[in-house]
Amino acid sequence: MHEPLKFEHIKPRLLGHWGTTPGLNFIYVHFNRLIKKHDLNVIYVTGPGHGGPGLVANTYLEGTYSELYPNISQTKEGLKKLFKQFSFPGGIPSHVAPETPGSIHEGGELGYSIAHAYGAAFDNPDLLVCCVVGDGEAETGPLAASWHSNKFLNPARDGAVLSILHLNGYKIANPTILSRLSDAELTQLFTGYGYKPYFVEGHEPETMHQLMAHTLDTVIEEIHAIQNDARAGQSAGLPVWPMIILRTPKGWTGPKVVDGKPVEDTWRAHQVPVTNFVSHPDHVKILEEWLKGYSPEELFDGNGKLIPELAELAPSGERRMGANPHANGGLLLKDLVMPDFREYAVRVTKPGTETAEATRVLGNLLRDVGGGTNLPGKQRIAPQPRQSQPQGHYPRNRKVRGVSQGEVRAHTRIPLVQAR
Ligand SMILES: Cc1ncc(C[n+]2csc(CCOP(=O)(O)OP(=O)(O)O)c2C)c(N)n1
C-alpha cells in the first residue's frame, strides 16, 4: 500500500471466501498465545476450510510457509507472490488444501471436521486439537452426528478436542439454523451433547480479544483438570468437555456497505465482498479503504517483513500449528503392515458346499493388520453392532475406563457411556 490502489493492481477474476476468514484468523492468533503460555501441542482443524487464505496467511506470518516454500519469502516480493498465487493458475487452492502447512483437513466438502479432530486426538494423549466448526457445516448430517464423538474420547489415554462453533450466522445465501437459536437454546442443545459451552460474542475487536483470551485460559484449565484427574485414576463417568461458541459478524472488519447494501454481518460477505471494479470504479476506493483500515504500514517494515514485536507473538519451531509434526504428512507416519489377503480366502473346493461369513473373514484379516493385535493406535470405528455383524476374533486385551469390554468389543472404540 505504498501507492494509491489502482484498477490494474486488482486480479481480473476474484475468488475466495472472505466471510469466514476473520473468525479463523482470530482463533489462530489466540491459540498462538495459548500455546506459548502453556507450551501446548496443538493442531488446527478448519471445518470452514474454504477460508484457506486465513490459514495460509497465519502460517506465512508464523514463518512456516516460507520455510516450506522459500520462494514465498518474508519480503515485499514474497508477499506479492503469496497474494498472486492464491486461486490463480499454477498457484494454490482457495481451500485449506493438503499443501497448506499444518492441514489434515481440507474442508471442501463440509461435515467432517469433528470426526477428523477426534481421530487425531485418539491415542495421542499430549495433543490438543482446535476444531473450528462452521455453523453452516454444522447442518450437515455427518457433523450433526459427530458431536457425540466426545463419548469415545478417554481423557486418560487420548488427547483433547476443543470444538469452536463459528457462529457467524450465514451459509452462503441463507441464515444458519443454529444462529437463529438463543444462547439459552444453544446451551441446552450442547449440554445435551455432553459439552459445557462458553460464549464469546460481539463485534468490538478490543473487547472480543479480552473475552477470547480469558475464555481460552479458563477452558484450557478445565481440559487439563479433566485429563489430570483421569490420569490419576480419580474420575468416573463421562467428563463434560468445554467448547466455545464464537458469535461474530460474518465478514467481520470487512466493508460495511457496498452500493447502499449492507455487507458485513450479512450473507453478502460470504465470498468476495466488493467486486465489479470495471462497472463500478468507485469500488476501488472501497477496497483501498478496507485494506488501509488494518494499517499495514504499522505491521510490516519497509521491506514487507512482519515487525519483530508481532512476529514474536507466534510460538516457535514445532509448536507452530503450521509446523506441528502431527499435521504434516510423512513426519509421523508409519507404514501399515498388511497381511497377504490371499491367505484369508475361503477355500471353495466345490461350488455350493462351503458356509462362510464375509464379515468374519474380514475380521480375521483386520486382526492381523499391523502385524499384531496389540498395535497401539489400531482402532476401528464401526457403525454396526459387532454382535450382529461378527468380525472375526479380536482378543481380549483392551480396557476402557477400567472395564474390560471382552472379546466382542476389544479393539473397537465403543462409547465410554457403555462402560459406566
Ligand atoms: C457438503 C457440502 N455442502 C455444501 C457445500 C457448499 N458450501 C461451501 S461453503 C458453504 C457455507 C458454509 O457455511 P459455514 O460452515 O457456516 O461457513 P462460513 O459461513 O463461516 O463460511 C456451503 C454451503 C459444501 N462445500 N459442502
What is the C-alpha separation between 13 and 24, in angstroms, rounded? 24
For a mutational test of ligand 1's pocket, the pick from 50, 94, 252, 265, i.e. the residue with the most ligand atoms closer than 8 A to its C-beta, is 50
Q: 250 CA to middle of ligand 1, Å? A: 13
Indicate whether residue 109 lines ligand 1 (CB < 6 A).
yes
CA 72 – ligand 1 centroid, Å = 29
Q: How far apart are CA 275 and CA 261, in angstroms?
A: 13
Judge if the beta carbon of residue 110 lies within 6 A of ligand 1: yes
Q: Flag the least confident range among 189-198, 270-279, 304-313, 404-413.
A: 404-413
Does residue 179 line the site of ligand 1, with CB under 6 A?
Answer: no
Q: Is the pLDDT of residue 400 over 60?
A: no
User: Could you tell me if the CB of 252 is within 6 A of ligand 1?
Assistant: no
What's the burial of 305, exposed, middle or buried (CB within 10 Å: 0-12/13-18/19+)? middle
In ligand 1, which atom is closest to the CA atom of 20? 20
Single pTM value for the model: 0.91
Residue 366's pLDDT is: 85
pLDDT at 395: 43
168 within ligand 1 shell (Cβ under 6 A)? yes
pLDDT tens across 192-248, in order? 999 999 999 999 999 999 999 999 999 999 999 999 999 999 987 899 999 999 999
CA–centroid distance, residue 48 to ligand 1 (Å): 7
pLDDT tens digits, residue range 22-74? 999 999 999 999 999 999 999 999 999 999 999 999 999 999 999 999 999 99
- Smallest CA-to-CA distance from 314 within 130, 67, 73, 62 is with 62
Q: With pLDDT > 90 as the criterion, what percentage of the chain qualifies?
A: 80
Print the SS3 string covering the chain. CCCCCCHHHCCCCCCCCCCCHHHHHHHHHHHHHHHHHHCCEEEEEECCCCCHHHHHHHHHHCCHHHHHCCCCCCCHHHHHHHHHHECCCCCECCCCCCCCCCCCCCCCCCCCHHHHHHHHHCCCCCEEEEEEEECCHHHCHHHHHHHHHHHHCCCCCCCEEEEEEEECCEECCEECCHHHCCHHHHHHHHHHCCEEEEEEECCCHHHHHHHHHHHHHHHHHHHHHHHHHHHCCCCCCCCCEEEEEEECCCCCCCCCEECCEECCCCHHHCCCCCCCCCCCCHHHHHHHHHHHCCCHHHHECCCCCECHHHHCCCCCHHHCCCCCHHHCCCCCCCCCCCCCHHHHCCCCCCCCCCCCCHHHHHHHHHHHHHHCCCCCCCCECCCCCCCCCCCCCCCCCCEECCEECHHHHCCECCCHHHHC
Top-ranked range on mean pLDDT: pick from 263-272, 376-385, 411-420: 263-272
Ligand 1 atom nearest 109 alpha carbon: 26
pLDDT of residue 235: 84
